[in-house]
Amino acid sequence: MPDGRPDLPLMRRILREPRIIFGLCILGLMCLAAILAPWLSPHNPLEQDLLFSFLPPSWQENGDPIFFLGTDNLGRDIASRLIYGTRTALIVAIVAATLAALLGTILGMIAGFYGGKIDMLISCAVDIWMSFPAVLLSIVLVAVIGAGLHAVIIAIVIIDWTRFCRVMRAETMVQKERDYVSSAVTIGLSRFRILFQEVLPNLLPLLIVLLTLEMGIAIVVETILSFVGLSVASDTPTWGNLIQEGRQYIHQAPWLLGLPVACVVLSVLGLNALGDGIKEVIDPESRQ
Amino acid sequence: MSHSYFFNRLLLAIPTLAGAVTITFILLRVVPGDPIAMMTGPGATEADIAQLRAHYGLDHSIAHQFVLYLGQVITGDLGTSISLRQDVGELIIGRLPVTVELVLIAMLIAASLALVLALTGTFWRDRWPERLVDSFIGVVVAIPDFLWALSLILILGVAIPVMPIFGRMDLTVSFDSWTNFYLTESLLRGEFEVTRSVLHHMVLPAVSLALPLMAITTRVLKSCLNAEMNREYVTLARTRGFSRLKVIYSQALRNALVPATTLSGVQFTFLIGGTVLVERIFGYPGIGNMAIDAVINRDLPLIQGLVLTFAILFILVNLLIDLFVTFLDPRLRHA
């Protein structure tokens, strides 16, 4: 690092970027909802009360303020179910995105840095991988592994490591040609040390951007698999399960579909804005 | 046009296809849960089960099954569906036209909207229309087709119920199709009531598929157009008195389309994968919807056949894009 306090102006730039602020707000809200779910939820998300089924949100006609966002076909409180659903979404987003990043980055760095046969092998695997329709592959994978949260996470990692691998391979190839790498070679550092101690820190900004975007993708994939009925058990409140249930009563109770869709859309928009914002701050050249 | 170029592209497709066949085969042979047990009722005898096993080739070793499977695939025999008890090839061919028509219409919508938006953004560069296009694209690109489908159902199917949200056409319309290409066939046979109904039902699924693709394509095309607008030939044409619109349309666009198509071509293949969910959501009877049923029923032969079909569609779209690029750029024909 050439500068004494390089992070100060960067922090200021980050705080000036509206997309980062928006994204951090959404992410912060999601974390709060996920951690504080038992205290924030007005009701038990699994508690059924058939006397109060299909209540609309409280601001609509016939709405009941006790059930702020209404109830579903079994009289379960939608607000509480949405709050608990945030937990699943966030767990999948963080764990799956991190693992996919880990696998993809290591393979991408090795391919980009060592080149030759190992690069050919990894690149070929990525090409074949990417020629599959991702949605179909994830559905087939989960059907093979068996439904459940771990299966969803494994499926996302198996499919999406390629996103990281491609970008990291290309970026490692760029970094490899930089002067600091030849300097490191000259002073006799091992190739392994150069790769992980010198090159890796320079890949981090890009990695953070990809990671943020991947979190959004992971949330969508979990929703999709819940929707198809291949994620966690259907009595666990997840956004995808809520969407799947809401789809059945679309004319009778459109809020059952609308509210969870709004949650997924907002979180995906937030994470995307965050990723795009960070990309712009760390790499002003990407601006057109 | 250089034949060897296309021959090479076709050769490149072989490893992809082989990979697709191998991976699905391996994946599906480790499926927990016995497909035969799912087919037979509780009253089935050992002999019945063994007979079914032999019928579906499940009694051989894995390697032997793979060789058998490869042989069948090459001869075009995809086996018999376990859940529907029909020939997999026939089942897929029956449903394929539904998906193909949907995909083509969606691509058409995406490409034409992208063209209009990119031209608008370029013509009014640095003015409010460009900023409007940019912010619109910024929001659209973040949301995947799955969420667009659900949002469009809520907005145009329930809140303002102007669009049908289920099925391929109205139940009141009957159409005895020979080919299952409803749209093309009804047009050719002059049954426009059918065409109208099919198109009406196609709007929401096709737009859901098209929106994310449109956003990415607009972004790429717009930046390619902007790059072209800084080139000397554009300045020359302007000094010779051609209007800005004419220069963009008749000169810059043609040059910008080549890199734009090459860059966004991959996105067109992603649209095929999107049909799986969008067809599911809209109850559209194509191969995507069928694929989800096949997975839920653990119908191995059908899943394998469908994955293979999807892989072939991917390769075909890639080839089409290559063809389009060579058509646009004469230099590539002799490369």
Domain range annotation of chain B: 16-74, 97-259+276-287
pLDDT at B153: 93
Give the Cα separation of A75 and A78 in Å (integer). Answer: 9
DSSP designation for B169 = S
Residue extents of the structural domains in chain A: 29-47+61-287
Contact yes or no for A105/A49 (Cβ under 8 A): no
Whether B146 sits inside 8 A of A220 (CB atoms) is yes
- Nearest-Cα residue of chain A relative to residue B155: A258
Q: Which of A101, A206, A278, A271 is nearest to B143 (CA)?
A: A271
Give the Cα separation of B236 and B239 in Å (integer). Answer: 5
Angle at the Cα of B291 (from B288 to B293), degrees rounded to 5?
120
Tokens at A82, concatenated: 């949405």
- Nearest-Cα residue of chain A relative to residue B126: A288
Whether A135 sits inside 8 A of B272 (CB atoms) is no
Whether A132 sits inside 8 A of B310 (CB atoms) is yes
A11 burial (CB, 10 Å; 0-12 / 13-18 / 19+) is exposed
What is the per-residue pLDDT across B132-177, written as a single tens digit (0 to 9) for each?
999 899 889 889 899 999 999 999 988 888 899 888 888 888 888 8
Whether A268 sits inside 8 A of B311 (CB atoms) is no
Whether B280 sits inside 8 A of A124 (CB atoms) is no
Give the Cα separation of B150 and B161 in Å (integer). Answer: 14
Enumerate residue ranges in chain A where pLDDT < 70.
1-8, 131, 234, 283-288
Contact yes or no for A257/A209 (Cβ under 8 A): no
Whether B143 sits inside 8 A of A227 (CB atoms) is no
Give first-to-last CA distance, chain B, whole Å.
10
Give the Cα separation of A78 and A237 in Å (integer). Answer: 9
ipTM above threshold 0.90: no
CATH hierarchy code of domain B97-259+276-287: 1.10.3720
Enumerate residue ranges in chain B where pLDDT < 70.
1-6, 27-43, 56-57, 332-335
Count of CB contacts below 8 A, A vs B? Answer: 111
Contact yes or no for A77/A47 (Cβ under 8 A): yes
Architecture of domain A29-47+61-287: Orthogonal Bundle (1.10)
B50 touches chain A (CB under 8 A): no
pLDDT at A288: 38
pLDDT at B319: 81
- Alpha helical stretches, state H, chain B: 3-29, 35-39, 46-55, 62-74, 88-123, 128-142, 145-152, 182-188, 192-229, 232-239, 244-247, 253-281, 287-296, 300-328, 330-333
Contact yes or no for A99/A91 (Cβ under 8 A): no
Residues in chain B: 335
pLDDT at B40: 63
Distance of residue A123 Cα from the nearest chain B Cα, in angstroms: 13
What is the per-residue pLDDT across A43-54, written as a single tens digit (0 to 9) for each?
788 777 777 777
Name the residue with tokens 């008890």: B85
Note every long-range contact of B17-22, with CB atoms under 8 Å and residues 24 or more positions apart, other chains counting: B17/B308, B17/B311, B17/B312, B17/B315, B19/A128, B19/A131, B20/A128, B20/A131, B20/A132, B20/B307, B20/B308, B20/B311, B21/B69, B21/B70, B21/B73, B21/B304, B21/B308, B22/B66
Whether A131 sits inside 8 A of B16 (CB atoms) is yes
Whether A261 sits inside 8 A of B151 (CB atoms) is yes
Most B-contacting residue of A135, A222, A287 (CB-CB within 10 A), to test interface:
A135
Chain A contacts of B142, Cβ < 8 Å?
216, 268-269, 272-273
Whether A128 sits inside 8 A of B15 (CB atoms) is yes
Percent of chain A with pLDDT over 70: 94
Window 175-214 of B, Cβ < 8 Å to A: none
A59 burial (CB, 10 Å; 0-12 / 13-18 / 19+) is exposed
Distance of residue A276 Cα from the nearest chain B Cα, in angstroms: 10
Q: Which of B44, B86, B37 is nearest to B58 (CA)?
A: B37
Chain B contacts of A124, Cβ < 8 Å?
15
pTM of the model: 0.85
pLDDT at A215: 94
B153 touches chain A (CB under 8 A): yes
